[in-house]
Structure 1
Amino acid sequence: MKKIRVLHVVLSLGTGGLENGIINIINGSNKDEFHTDVICIREQGELHSRIDNSSTKVFYDANLSSGLINSIKHIRTIMLSEGYDILHTHGWATMLAGYLAVLSLTFSKSKPLIINGEHGTLYFESSQQILIQRFLFNRMRLNLSVSVALVHEVSRRFNVSINIFKAIINGVNVNKFVPSLEQRNSVREELNLKDENLLIGSVGRLVAVKNYPSLIRAFSIVLQKQPTARLALAGDGPEKKILEALIEELGLKNEVFLMGRREDVPSVMNAYDIFVLPSFREGLSNTILEAMSSALPVVVTNVGGSPEIVIENKTGHLFEVNNTTQLADILDSLMIDRKRLQTMSEDARKHVVKNYSLETMVNNYQQTYRDLLEHKKKGR
């Protein structure tokens, strides 16, 4: 049987939820039915080494200078040499380059279907950007989104029909992110924590959109009532010095740990007792699902697709952006009632295993690819 050939177009395979999701799709795909490659048009990124499918090619030419024209040429060359059925772009820059590359193959037998995936980072700073993206959304065979909320946000901001979108919720490897006492003890020993130290934590790049200063400020309030509480942030990024200065200003050097970029995220999750994500915006965060799969109650901002996966007061809590008092009250209430904390942890794990497994997500993508090609065959 001829394999369905898919080429993903990304800016890079650097650390991030979008990139992690693509790697999960590739690694989880049915190798007998699908062949999947990736082209990076800006930089290769460190996550490419996590691809465990030996047949997958990661195309990146360090000799090419960045820019739209070079990206179009690179994508076009790869499509002509490899022959793909589907070109799957991710975000507006890759969508533009991918669309123009496919357009250049109008009279070629190597012309693939083009679809786009939106993961939560939208660009609408100028009317020109909005018009270009509106045009591109309407030229895709299909637009995929990681949450229903994101579909509606894109539809509203860019004045496009929701009918050209389909939501496929992210999935998590529930066998990788699983409760482990051994992993928990290892990381907690590293941080010199005692049994009485409940650890609030987060995982993500230290960038402005994650809004970690609000979490640190909320934690300083919690500490007044819960003096044995601790906070850890796993990740690195341009906001690190700002966070270090805030920790110094609030006198929290002994209570807050900046752990840096970690390769052992499942172990880090196991060390936590409560997971918090205070982002200004999200599409649908993989780290929320990873935390829940690790049996952590999640406390996250009421943005993007988060309300679609968090059951209020059962698997976690939602709070409003920048409301440090509300966040502090939620954390304090969870730390006071350990029995409720344990029940919520168990419910979070059950919820993810039942509804958001990696297998379910990959199957949804694969079925979408099949349906698109079947429609093409029938001339739809």
Structure 2
Amino acid sequence: MKIGIVCYPTYGGSGVVATELGKSLATRGHEIHFICYAVPTKLNKFLDNIYFHEVELYQYPLFEFPIYTDALASRIIDVARFNKLDIIHVHYAIPHATSAILARTILNNKIKVITTLHGTDITLVGLEPSFTPVVRFGIEASDGVTAVSRYLRETTISTYNINREIEVIPNFVDTEIFKPGENLELRKKIAPKGEKILIHVSNFRKVKRVQDVVKVFEIVRKKIPSKLVFVGDGPERGDAENLCRQLNICDDVLFLGKQDALHEILCSADVFILPSQIESFGLSALEAMSCGLPVIATNVGGLPEVVLHGETGYLTEIGNIERMASYVIELFEDKNKYREFSEKARERAEKFFDKDLIVPKYEMFYEKILNQ
């Protein structure tokens, strides 16, 4: 198949999943065309069967803001015509679905549009009154729609009064890359005295509640010598850094910013902390589990579909700092339980979320839509 993939190229779950999906499909013989305003962060080397098409934004004094939706639609039309694409697979409903549907109309319906819903396009941005009708239209008018969790599917149907089928295809992980294997050199640099290491990975948006990670760590370090590692960047990073200064724990907290070698960093840590206010799936938690890290997270959204409470980690109520900290301490003090959780976390990632299990589901979905 010839597949166009539209996604945001930034450091975030939807862009990462879209890029990894395209790369996996290319290795399976499909011709993949990425259509974005910049090269996706994970598309950092030459790969056979993969092409990139930049969306160029026209600047004109009359337009106060660049008209991205129209520019994207025009680029989709050009790429689809010239390369004879079969499918346009858009990730994130706003504005990608609208642009793809406009392009399909201009192309006289000679291409199929598949929309994958990832989370905040439904639970946050799409709830803005100015966007809600457009999001609903994009979902209803697509030829096929998928969601990354059962939670997101049900939320979409109930919130937007959707009357069509939405197929659940979960996010996936490459278990050959994200696999257990202690990174002793990095671990020694982070924790030279053999301290335990907690880690959090996110885009540092408000819903991630990164200050809660700091508060959990402060409790843990009072009982067990520990270090805290943050990976990623975003608007809440400054507040998290200020809180570390207020608590006088800066010497034990490391902010690494955005990193490509995430699996190497995860393999240097012991426990993954994710105290989010909402998560439609929790890709970072899955990547940590695949590396054998137990996950301490909130019992929200799609996280219970990924993290099994009492088996691969623990789930708590939003904002329950003390409970999260007690779970971390419990795992650090009970080596047998920690080992059991670590093994089950890896096992669950391999058994249910490995890319070789999930990518064929997308292929079957493509075939289903093409044959309608």
Contact 1:235 1:261 in 2 (8 A): yes
Structural mapping, 1:3-42, within 5 Å: 4-10=1-7, 12-29=8-25, 31=27, 33-40=29-36, 42=37
2:62 aligned residue: none
2:223 aligned residue: 225
TM-fit CA distance, 1:224: 2.4
For the pair 1:60 / 2:54, whether they are aligned, the reply is yes
Which of 311, 334, 346 matches 1:337?
A: 334
Contact 1:300 1:318 in 2 (8 A): yes
**CA deviations over 1:175-199 (Å, ceiling 9, x no partner):** 1111113xx212112224322x111
2:134 aligned residue: 132
Contact 2:297 2:316 in 1 (8 A): yes
Contact 1:13 1:48 in 2 (8 A): no
Which of 230, 236, 239 matches 1:239?
A: 236
Q: CA RMSD in A?
A: 1.8
Which of 273, 293, 303 matches 1:306?
A: 303
Relative distance call for 1:270 and 1:126 in structure 2 (3 A) is closer
The SS at the match of 2:131 is: helix
State the alpha-carbon separation in 2 of the partners of residues 265 and 231 from structure 1. 15
TM-fit CA distance, 1:276: 1.1
TM-fit CA distance, 1:219: 1.5
**CA deviations over 1:300-351 (Å, ceiling 9, x no partner):** 1212211112111011111122221221222222222122111110111111
TM-fit CA distance, 1:63: 5.4
1:46 aligned residue: 41
For the pair 1:327 / 2:324, whether they are aligned, the reply is yes
TM-score (norm 2): 0.92
Q: Which amino acid aligns with 1:260?
A: G
Which of 347, 353, 356 matches 2:353?
A: 356
1:187 aligned residue: 186
TM-fit CA distance, 1:62: 4.2
State the alpha-carbon separation in 2 of the partners of residues 186 and 75 from structure 1. 46
Relative distance call for 1:116 and 1:63 in structure 2 (3 A) is closer
Contact 2:296 2:313 in 1 (8 A): yes
TM-fit CA distance, 1:135: 2.0
Q: Which amino acid aligns with 2:190?
A: L
The SS at the match of 1:260 is: coil
Q: Identity of paired residues, percent?
A: 24
Relative distance call for 1:208 and 1:126 in structure 2 (3 A) is closer
Relative distance call for 1:131 and 1:57 in structure 2 (3 A) is same
State the alpha-carbon separation in 2 of the partners of residues 32 and 327 from structure 1. 42
TM-fit CA distance, 1:59: 0.7
The SS at the match of 1:349 is: helix
State the alpha-carbon separation in 1 of the partners of residues 363 and 13 from structure 2. 20
Q: Which amino acid aligns with 1:271?
A: S
Q: Which amino acid aligns with 1:201?
A: I
Relative distance call for 1:31 and 1:265 in structure 2 (3 A) is closer
State the alpha-carbon separation in 1 of the partners of residues 345 and 25 from structure 2. 26
Structural mapping, 1:43-192, within 5 Å: 43-50=38-45, 53-62=47-56, 64-65=58-59, 66-67=66-67, 68-91=69-92, 92-106=94-108, 111-121=110-120, 122=122, 123-161=125-163, 163-181=164-182, 184-192=183-191
TM-fit CA distance, 1:54: 2.1
State the alpha-carbon separation in 1 of the partners of residues 348 and 364 from structure 2. 23
State the alpha-carbon separation in 2 of the partners of residues 371 and 75 from structure 1. 22
1:378 aligned residue: none
TM-score (norm 1): 0.90
State the alpha-carbon separation in 1 of the partners of residues 177 and 351 from structure 2. 15
Greater length-normalized contact order (CA 8 Å, ≥ 6 residues apart): 1
Q: Which amino acid aligns with 1:36?
A: I
Contact 1:273 1:296 in 2 (8 A): yes
**CA deviations over 1:204-247 (Å, ceiling 9, x no partner):** 22222221111111221222222x02211112223222211111
The SS at the match of 2:220 is: helix
Q: Which amino acid aligns with 1:204?
A: S
State the alpha-carbon separation in 2 of the partners of residues 203 and 250 from structure 1. 21
The SS at the match of 1:313 is: coil
